[in-house]
A and B are shown apart, each in its own frame.
Chain A
C-alpha cells in the first residue's frame, strides 16, 4: 500500500488478502486542445477492492468525471496504468475495450442513461442481449433487478413516464444486469430531489451490503458523501485525501 503525498488514513480492512479490483498507477490525462494544457488527472495512484462503496468528491473541474471515464475505459489516459484484475486496460485495442466495458463495467450517468424508445424491462435486458445471454436468464434477471429496485410495476412503461428518481433506479438495474465487476456512477443523484436521492442511495447501499456489488461514484452532495464508506477527495487532478468512514449502512439509513 503506497500513497505518497496522500494525507488520508488507509482503512486496514482493505489490506486483507483480497485482490484489488482496480489498481491505478501514475495516471495522468492532459487536454491540449486549449492554449494552456489542462491536467485533468495529474498523477493519481489508487486501489479499489471488491465490495467498496466509495465516493469521489471535489470541486467542479477537479477531474472526477475524467477519472471515472478513464477507469471505465471510455477515455484514454495520457500516461499511467489502469489494472483491472491485473489486466492493463490502457493497452487494450478499441475493439477489446468495447467488450471490456460490456462484461466488466456498469455505467450510471447523471442523465440520458436509458434508451427512450425501449420500455423499462427492455432497457434492462438490452445489455444482457448484447452479452448474448439466454432468453430465460434475461427475463428472470430483469424481474429480479426491477423488484430489487422497487419498480417492478413499471416494467412495460417507457422511461419518459417515470420520475427522475425512478429512471435512475432503472439505470442502476441496467448497470447491474451485466453482472459487472464494478459500477461507476458519475453524479447519479445530481438531478434528483433529496427524497429520491435518499431512496436511490439506500438501494445502492443495500445491494452493496447484500451482494458485494462494488460502487464508485462521484458527487457534490454532502448527503451522498455521508453514505459512503470511503471518500476520495480530488483537487486539480490530484488525490488530496482518501478517508475511510467506519459506519454500517444500517446506521447511515437512519
Chain B
C-alpha cells in the first residue's frame, strides 16, 4: 500500500516530477556519455599505440633503452624472429635496428631516431604503412629510401623525393653521413612519434653503420589477442633470460595509468553530477511535502505512524530519482552502443586531438562494472536526498498541519 501511494504520489504533480526526471535523465546521460567517450578515447589510444608504435611485446638487450648503445644488441635476432613467428599466439614479429641520428637538410636539422626495418616483417606488426599521406612504403627496390612523419617533413621543409642527410655513429664509434631520399610521408595520431621516427631499410642502415646483418636492437611482437600479452611476456622472459622482455604496459606506462584510473575518474565525474542533481531532487520533494501539509497532517491524525510517513516520502524520492536514472541509463546505453559501433568523427577538431595522441574517430564504451557502481550511487544519493523532505514531513505537528498553516 505504501509503495502504491508513493508511486502514485510521484505522478501527482506531473510537470514538477517530469522537470526533475528530465534533469536527471539529461544530467546522467551527459555524464555517462562523456565518461564513455573518454573511455573510448583511451582505448583508441591504447589500440593505436600498440598497433602503430609498440606492438604488444618488445625484446631487447638489457640497458639498450637507456642510451641506445649499439653494442647492446640481439645478436641472433633473425633466428629469434623466425622462432617467434612459429608461435600460434603471435601475429607477427619484426627485427629493428635502432640508432639516434641528426637529420639535416639545406634549411634545417632535427634529432631523430632511425629505425632500420625489414618492410615485409614490419608491415605485419605495425599499421604504419597504411597511414601514409604521400608516397609509398618501400615499394621500389631503390637503395637509401626513407619513410618519415609529416611533422618531421614540415620541420625539415622536405617533400617527397627530397634528400635528407643523416649524421650517425658506426658500431665502432666513428661518425658517418648517409643521404636518404624521402619515399613516403606518414601521419599517426601521436605527434611525438611523427617528429622522431625515421624509417629506412634494414640493410641500408646496417651497411652504413657496420651493424652485423643477422642482429637487431629491438624485436617487436604483435599478438592475436591483447589478453595474451602478460602471460606471453612472462613465458618469453623465461625462454630468453638474457633479454629484456617488456609489454606495452611497461613501454607506455602513461597509457596504462590512464586506463587504470579511468573507472575512478568516470565515477567521480558522474558523482559530482549526481550531487548537483540531488539538490534539485531535494527541492522538488520539499515542495511536494509543503504542498501536502494538510494531507500529511490528516495521515498522522488518523493513526499513520511517523515512521511510515517517513518511509512514504523516502520511497517517493527514490522512485522519482530511479525513474530518471533508469531512463538516463537506458538512453546512455543506447547512444553509447550506437556510437560505439559507428564512431564519433572528430576530424573537424582532430588537430588538437592528434597532438594528444588521439584518433579522430572515437568509439565510446563503458564496462558493466561502471553501471553497477553507478546504480548503487544513484540509490545512495536518492536515499540521502530523501532524508531531508522525509524529516520535514514527520516534524509536522498534526494539530497544526490539519489547520493548514
Contact = CB atoms under 8 A, between A and B. Distances in A.
Interface of A: 65, 69, 72, 74-75, 95, 98-99, 101-103, 105-107, 109, 111-113, 115-118, 122, 126-127, 129-131, 174, 178
A117 B5 contact: yes
Please provide the 5 A-B residue pairs with the shortest distance between their CB atoms, ordered closest to farther: A102-B303, A117-B8, A75-B399, A112-B294, A74-B398
Given A102-B302, A117-B9, A130-B304, A69 B399 contact: yes
Contacts of A178: 302-303
A109 B402 contact: yes
Given A112-B295, A112-B298, A130-B304, A117 B1 contact: no
B298 A113 contact: yes
A74 B399 contact: yes
B1 A112 contact: no
26 contacts: A72-B301, A74-B300, A74-B301, A74-B399, A75-B397, A75-B398, A98-B303, A98-B304, A98-B306, A99-B303, A101-B303, A102-B304, A107-B301, A109-B298, A109-B301, A112-B294, A112-B295, A112-B402, A115-B295, A115-B299, A118-B4, A118-B5, A127-B302, A127-B303, A130-B302, A130-B305
Interface of B: 1, 4-5, 8-9, 12, 294-295, 297-306, 308, 397-399, 402-404
A126 B1 contact: yes
A43 to B, nearest CB: 20
A77 to B, nearest CB: 11
A131 B303 CA distance: 9
Given A69-B399, A109-B298, A115 B5 contact: yes
Contacts of B301: 72, 74, 101, 107, 109
A98 B309 CA distance: 12
A107 B302 contact: yes
B402 A74 contact: yes
A101 B402 CA distance: 15
Nearest to A29: B399
A127 B1 CA distance: 11
Given A75-B397, A109-B298, 13 more contacts: A72-B301, A74-B300, A101-B301, A101-B303, A102-B304, A112-B297, A113-B298, A116-B295, A118-B5, A126-B1, A130-B302, A130-B303, A178-B303
Contacts of B297: 112
A248 B12 CA distance: 45
Main secondary structure of the interface of B (DSSP, over half): helix
Nearest to B399: A75
Given A74-B301, A116-B295, A117-B8, A129 B402 contact: no
A31 to B, nearest CB: 11
A65 B398 CA distance: 13
B1 A101 contact: no
Contacts of A103: 303
Contacts of B306: 98
Contacts of B4: 118, 122
Nearest to B293: A112
B12 A116 contact: yes
A122 B304 CA distance: 15
Contacts of A72: 301
Nearest to B304: A130
A117 B303 contact: no
Contacts of A109: 298, 301, 402
B403 A65 contact: yes
A98 B303 CA distance: 5
Contacts of A122: 1, 4
A105 to B, nearest CB: 8
A107 B399 CA distance: 12
Contacts of A106: 302
A98 B304 CA distance: 7
Contacts of B9: 117
Contacts of B397: 75
Contacts of B300: 74, 98
Contacts of B304: 98, 102, 130
A75 B8 CA distance: 30
A25 to B, nearest CB: 20
A74 B301 CA distance: 6
A75 B398 CA distance: 8
A208 to B, nearest CB: 20
A99 B306 CA distance: 11
B405 to A, nearest CB: 11
Nearest to B9: A117
A72 B305 CA distance: 15
Contacts of A101: 301-303
Contacts of A129: 1
A109 to B, nearest CB: 6
A161 to B, nearest CB: 15
A96 to B, nearest CB: 11
Contacts of B1: 122, 126, 129
Nearest to A111: B294
B87 to A, nearest CB: 69
A55 B304 CA distance: 27
A192 B250 CA distance: 83
Nearest to B295: A112
A115 to B, nearest CB: 7
Contacts of B294: 111-112
A111 B297 CA distance: 12
A127 to B, nearest CB: 6
Contacts of A126: 1
